[in-house]
Structure 1
Amino acid sequence: MDKPDFQHSSPAPALSVIVVAADSGPDLRDCVRLILACQLPLELILVDNDSRDGVPPAIARARQDDERLKVVYSHRNIGFGPAVNLGAKQASGPSLLILNPDCLPGEDDLRRLLAVQAAHPKAGLIGAVVCDADGRPDPASWRRDPLLHRALNTLLGRPGETVEIDREIPTELIQAEAVSGALMLLTREMFERLGGFDEKYFLHCEDLDLCRRVRDIGYQVLLAGDVRVTHGKGSSSRHRPIFVSRHKHRGMWRWFRKHDPAARNPALAAAVWLGIWGHFALQIPGQLWRRARSE
């Protein structure tokens, strides 16, 4: 006769945290440790984008008895958005937290974000203020769509709407056009309604795209100004600056073609294409020099 199974099972998760790793190093260990220290009913889905540093499988081995952790191996670097989509397919919680591996929210931060979500049914996506190690807020926490006319106003110092918001980031809940992709909370229902991330972005601007699509279907993007989270910024990108920069510029071009009315003008579109890829080319010597110095 088989012995009865008395193995304790965790309660159904209220939150599914999705973290994408790509040679993220020690930051990833800190992120996993902090999330799994929470008493919230949650699950952590770690998607490994073909890391070579051995950290994701080491975490899986060390925490093999913690059924809240799921490690998904993509076996090649499929890009950030596609990896999040892959992780979301494994999620069972009603809410999804998309989190960078160098972003370190505490349990109180997660509870406050979930409370905002519960209190605001028209909130399609919620972000937090991400800060450096000294507590300085990253301006990318509170963003506007990078429309061409705004970018030109910013570049030329002209009056009118600009891409940059030249005000101090507030400490209360506000509506925003876009928030930092380092930390984004949305319901699983909303994520599925949007079809997840647009997988034609490999890296960068897919968060701007997701925020824009939330607003396009009549929901709000909110910034919880009182939630401040430490963010290392760039732990996965320092090793491959040219690779990351190329995909960042590809993302900028895709966002422009997809969302900016100026893209309908062939002459403007050609000028923007030249500007984006000219900027990429000008950055390469400096990136090579900085990489050589760091080796």
Structure 2
Amino acid sequence: MPALTVLLPIHNSFEAVCRCLHSLHNDTNPLDAAITKLVLINDASTDTRISPRLKEFRNQTPRVELIEQNTNLGYLASVNRQLERVTGAVVLLNSDTVVTRDWATRLQAGAKRYPRLGALTPLSNNATFSTIRDPNDRRRALTREDLPRIEALLEKRTGCDYPLAPTGMGFCLLITALARSIAPKFNATFAPGYEEENDLCQTLRAHGLQCRIASDVYVHHEGGESFGPDKAGLQKRHYELIQQQHPAYAALVQDWFERLDQPYDLLPGANNSKPLRLLLEAEVLSQSLTGVVRYLDTLIELLHPSINRGDLKVSAVVSDTGTQKRYQSSTPQVEWLTGSDLDSQGQRWDIYHLCHANIPFEVVQRRRRHASRLVVSLHDLIAFENPSYFANGESFLSYRQQLRELTGLADHVLAISENTLRDGLEQLQLTHQRCSVFANPLCHLQISPEPEQKNWPPAERFCLIVGTDFRHKHLLGSVELFRDALLPLDPQLKLVLVGPEVAHGGCLTELKTLLNRDKTLERAVHIEGAVSDARLTSLYKSAELVLYLSLQEGFGYIPYEAAMHHCPTVVANTSVYTELPNWVAVDPYSCPRTNSVLAQLLNDPACRKINVQVWQQQLAYDQQRDHAQELLSVYCQVLNTPRHPYAKWLVKPQLESTAPHVSASRLRRLAILLPASVKQGLRRSQRWLQQQKI
């Protein structure tokens, strides 16, 4: 096992020293096996109780060496003297600390995982960069009484990722053997102490080594005991000195604190933060019923048991007070907020879950500051690929850039299907490490009792199309297929179209033109537009067949909703349903195979029943999943992963090749994320744009 020497300089502070020694070795927790030698350095303590206590500890504890100095050399000189004579990795430990079980073993094991590691610092209650607060009440500082609870928590975090830090902290600092080959000892200019570890770590950084925080190790630190009343003066003088020798150090620290959501990131997901606090972006609930609205409604519904058990506290932000009041009465388990409530209350959440991407980036960035992590649901990339859904090219490019920015800012992206994940990995700068699939839950879709055989009068038989008039929904092609394949079989058959009309990229006007030219088809087609849930349920129960021939879908609820009410559905084989049998997923145009499938579904009860069973089997499989636990597991995993820093590609926006310039609004949006040096460049560009009246 590689050597690990612990140096413990001591000068007075008898009570603190006794606590430190007891934590290092006692009857129930012997000296950590990873420590090859513990060197006690008595720096001429004037408290006469110190020396006898150190000798007693040396005699009772293995692998302990006691150095008695007759002259007070000060912290830095005492440490440097020992650094000159020991080899291998070294841990510098202050005498006003209390260590936890297996602390050195964890530090040593963690250090092995990072080949370029120079310095490693554990978590603490009082350590600037590695400071954490009470996981259960983040307004409260940790005390020594919290140590058993923190130890139990750290047991579950063994081997977790160690986040990068701008420097190490001297209260407990592991310096690797590689680092010691570059900087064998501290700069004597910083005697007697303070800032010497920052000077050392900046030297190591200049040589390409890293400083990290051991987020599965905790060492309690009283602070200030080692230097007594002159602490403030030493800090001020030596901070000025560090600025002189390392002019960029302050900028490094500022950038780190801007990107790290202190103190929420160093011990993320502690105790799973019971209850875990979740903020849902729910402005979409004020819109008409869409797949995204159903997704969000279902998400809230499936989280009810976790809320009732006290495992989860859910807040949702909506766009207006009308929506707020409506949902407050129907779903009181959730705290419903408007945007102004969110800004004024100043609450904190563990997770901000953006359930849809149709919200301005500036709003997301502002609300993001209220939470430790950002999770984004990715439903599809249909609008991302289709400029016809926007009023102009600028709106299209703005949406594409916004989706890139949102997914780039996210700590985790939840794709609602494997199909969506594939598209996201290909077209957005995502990685498998921070993406996963959380399929749209179907647990709210309960299969109703099978109805009696339908014996409608011929004039009342109808097929059903559900969805907006976006072109990818293939509304025109579906109507033409109905005309060519189904209407000849039953001239009395009707076609009912249900769904809202979209602002851009719709085909309803063209459909009406088609119906005006074909009076027979016009008499058969009835356009109802947006309908209520109750009306839609009634239509499902009465329809002969649902045509859902959308060419591109992220998921698609419609076939499952139809199957609830024992209505068969035929889908296009070009979307997420490609793996279904060819008598369920068909070519979305008139051809012999498709026409044959439609004829059988319209007139053969056995074929209808088999079709419905395919969808109901999918529903039955979904009922076996514990959706709430899956989602909570994702949240906890995200909380236990270091926060995703802003993506480098945001520094230089990857605009489309057709874009002649960067708009001023986009520059302002990006500037929120960027370091000061980049912001200055953007401001110069913005001034130039204004001068050019762009």
With normalisation by structure 1, the TM-score equals 0.65
Is the Cα–Cα contact under 8 Å of residues 25 and 53 in structure 1 kept in the other structure? yes
Q: Assess if the C-alpha contact under 8 Å between 2:43 and 2:68 holds in 1.
A: yes
Q: In the alignment, which residue of structure 1 is the partner of 2:48?
A: 54
Asked if residue 100 in structure 1 is aligned to residue 94 in structure 2, the reply is yes
Q: Distance in 1 between the 2:248 and 2:198 partners?
A: 16
The equivalent residue for 1:22 is 11
Counterpart secondary structure, 2:17: helix
Aligned to 2:210: 220
Conserved? CA contact 1:45–1:91, under 8 Å:
no
Tell me, in whole angstroms, the C-alpha distance in 2 between the residues paired with 1:61 and 1:127.
29
The partner residue of 1:186 within 146, 161, 175 is 175
Q: Which residue of 1 aligns with 2:196?
A: 206
1:256 corresponds to:
243
| Contact 1:24/1:235 (<8 A) preserved | yes
Aligned-pair distance for 1:130?
1.2
Aligned to 2:287: none
The DSSP-based 3-state class of the residue aligned with 1:63 is: helix
What is the match of residue 270 of structure 1?
none
User: What residue in structure 1 maps to residue 223 of structure 2?
Assistant: 233
Structure 2 counterpart of 1:84, from 71, 79, 87: 79
* CA contact 1:103–1:231 (8 Å) conserved in 2: yes
Partner residue, 2:21: 32
Q: Structure 2: how far apart are the matches of 1:54 and 1:192? A: 38
Change (3 A) 1:64 1:174: closer
**Structure-2 residue corresponding to 1:68:** 63
SS in 2 for 1:200: helix
Contact 2:118 / 2:178 at 8 angstroms: preserved in 1? no
Q: Return structure 1 stretches of 4+ with deviation > 4 angstroms.
A: none
Residue 190 of structure 2 aligns to a residue whose secondary structure is coil
Q: 1:182 to 1:43 in 2, by over 3 A?
A: same
Quick check: which has more Rg, 1 or 2? 2
TM superposition score normalised by structure 2: 0.29
What is the alpha-carbon distance in structure 2 between the residues aligned to residue 54 and residue 71 of structure 1?
16
How many percent of aligned residue pairs carry the same amino acid? 22
- 1:180-207 deviation line (CA, Å, top 9, x unaligned): 2111112245224203111110221111
Q: Deviations over 1:104-159 (max 9, x none)?
A: 22242221111111121111111111116xxxxx43427xxxxxxxxxxxxxxxxx
Matched, 1:110 2:104: yes
Alignment partner, residue 139 of structure 1: 128
**1:266 aligned partner:** none
| Contact 1:19–1:47, Cα closer than 8 Å, also in 2 | yes
Q: Offset of 1:219 from its aligned partner?
A: 0.4
SS in 2 for 1:173: coil
**CA distance in 1: counterparts of 2:85 and 2:53, whole angstroms:** 18
The aligned counterpart of 1:267 is none
> Unpaired runs of 5+ in structure 1?
1-11, 133-137, 143-170, 263-295
> Cα–Cα, structure 1 residues 237 and 34, in superposed 2: closer, same or farther, change >3 Å?
same
- Structure 1 pair 53–71 and aligned structure 2 pair: CA distance change class (3 A): same
- Residue 209 of structure 1: CA displacement? 0.9
Which residue of the other structure, out of 112, 116, 119, is the alignment partner of 2:113?
A: 119
**Paired amino acid for 1:38:** L
Question: Structure 1 pair 67/108, CA: closer, same or farther in 2 (3 Å)?
Answer: closer
Please give the alpha-carbon distance, in whole angstroms, between the structure 1 residues aligned to 2:49 and 2:86.
22
Root-mean-square deviation (CA, aligned residues, Å) is: 2.7
The answer to whether the Cα contact below 8 Å between 1:130 and 1:180 also exists between their aligned partners in 2 is no
**Residues 224, 231 of structure 2: 8 Å contact kept:** no
Greater relative CO, 1 or 2 (CA 8 Å, sep 6+): 1
Q: Does 2:123 match 1:129?
A: yes
CA contact (8 A) 2:121 2:214 kept: yes
- Amino acid corresponding to residue 232 of structure 2 in structure 1: S
Please tell me the residue identity of whatever aligns with 1:260. P
Per-residue deviation, 1:74: 3.3
**How far off its partner does 1:51 sit?**
1.3
Q: Structure 2: where are the runs of 5+ without partners?
A: 132-159, 250-694
Whichever residue aligns with residue 50 of structure 1, its letter is A
Cα shift at 1:13? 7.7
- Give 1:193's aligned amino acid: I
What's the CA shift for 1:68?
1.8
Secondary structure, aligned partner of 1:233:
coil
Any residues of structure 2 matched to 1:151-162 within 5 Å, and which? none
Alpha-carbon distance between aligned partners in 2 of 1:53 and 1:253, rounded to the nearest angstrom: 33
